[in-house]
Amino acid sequence: MTWVTDNHAHANPFSGFGFVEVAKRFKRTGGLAMVFAPLLSWHYQVSVRSPIDYERIYEVVVKGVKDASAHLKALAVLGVHPAEVCRLIENFGVEVAYNIAEGSMNLAARYVEQGLAVGLGEVGRPHYTVSSAALSVCNDILDLSLRLAKDLSCPIHLHVERGDESVKSIVEGIRKIGLKPELVVLHHAEPKNIGRCGGLTPSIPHRGRYLEEAFMRKSKSFLVESDFIDDPKRPGAVSYPWAISYKVQEMLKMGIVTEDVIHRVFVENFEKLYNTKIH
Residue 65: what pLDDT?
Answer: 98
Residue 198: what pLDDT?
Answer: 92
Q: How confident is the model at residue 127 (pLDDT cuts 50, 70, 90)?
A: confident
Q: How confident is the model at residue 130 (pLDDT cuts 50, 70, 90)?
A: confident
Provide the residue ranges of all domains of the chain, joining segments of one domain with +: 4-274
Q: How confident is the model at residue 46 (pLDDT cuts 50, 70, 90)?
A: very high
What's the rounded mean pLDDT across residues 269-273?
98
Q: With 90 as the cut, is the pLDDT of residue 165 above it?
A: no
Please report, as a single letter, which amino acid is at residue 256. I
Q: How confident is the model at residue 128 (pLDDT cuts 50, 70, 90)?
A: confident
What's the rounded mean pLDDT across residues 149-166?
93
> How far does CA 43 lie from the centroid of its chain?
17
Q: Are 205 and 238 within 8 A, CB to CB?
A: yes
Q: How confident is the model at residue 163 (pLDDT cuts 50, 70, 90)?
A: confident
In 93-224, alpha helices (H): 94-113, 132-152, 164-177, 210-215
> How far does CA 3 lie from the centroid of its chain?
20
The fold for domain 4-274 equals TIM Barrel (3.20.20)
Q: With 80 as the cut, is the pLDDT of residue 155 above it?
A: yes
CA dihedral 59, 60, 66, 68 (to 10 degrees): -170
Nearest to 32 by CA among 275, 273, 268: 268
- Model pLDDT for residues 61-88, shown as the tens digit of each residue: 999 999 999 999 999 999 999 999 999 9
Q: With 90 as the cut, is the pLDDT of residue 236 above it?
A: no
Please report, as a single letter, which amino acid is at residue 163. G
Residue 2: what pLDDT?
Answer: 80
Q: With 80 as the cut, is the pLDDT of residue 279 above it?
A: no
Helix/strand/coil for 119: strand
What's the rounded mean pLDDT across residues 98-103?
98
- Residue 26: Cβ-neighbour burial (10 angstroms; 0-12, 13-18, 19+): buried
Q: With 80 as the cut, is the pLDDT of residue 1 above it?
A: no
Residue 41: what pLDDT?
Answer: 96
Q: How confident is the model at residue 246 (pLDDT cuts 50, 70, 90)?
A: very high
Q: With 90 as the cut, is the pLDDT of residue 49 above it?
A: yes
- Using a pLDDT cut of 70, give the percent of the chain over it: 100
Residue 166: what pLDDT?
Answer: 87
Better-scored residue on pLDDT, 89 or 127: 89
Q: At what angle do helices 94-113 and 132-152 cross, to 10 degrees?
A: 20
Q: With 90 as the cut, is the pLDDT of residue 42 above it?
A: yes
Nearest to 270 by CA among 250, 244, 252: 244
Q: How confident is the model at residue 57 (pLDDT cuts 50, 70, 90)?
A: very high
